[in-house]
Amino acid sequence: MSWTQAELDALKAAYASGTTRVTYDGKTVEYDSEAALLRRIQTIEGAINAAAGTPRPVAGYASFGRGDR
């Protein structure tokens, strides 16, 4: 599925204003919660970044040693 930057911008504006009803390109969608809206934003951002070739962030773990073993 292809998402547009206009859809992403509308979702972010709705999330920032605290509403769950989003209107873009003549369509209106109401999400059941802010969490659902945030998941949609993250999904679309991930797809847009993947299509643009933007690398995903990498997380690592720190490790410590006592030095005597």
> What single-letter DSSP state applies at residue 55?
P
SS3 65: coil
Q: What tens digit of pLDDT does each residue of 11-20 get?
A: 999 999 999 9
Mean pLDDT value across residues 55-60: 75
Phi, psi angle pair for 37, to nearest 5°: -65, -45
Residue 3 has pLDDT above 90, yes or no: no
Residues 6 or more apart whose Cβ sits within 8 Å of residue 45: 8
Rounded Cα gap, residues 25 and 22, in angstroms: 10
Q: What tens digit of pLDDT does each residue of 6-44 get?
A: 899 999 999 999 999 999 889 899 999 999 999 999 999
Domain limits, the chain: 5-52
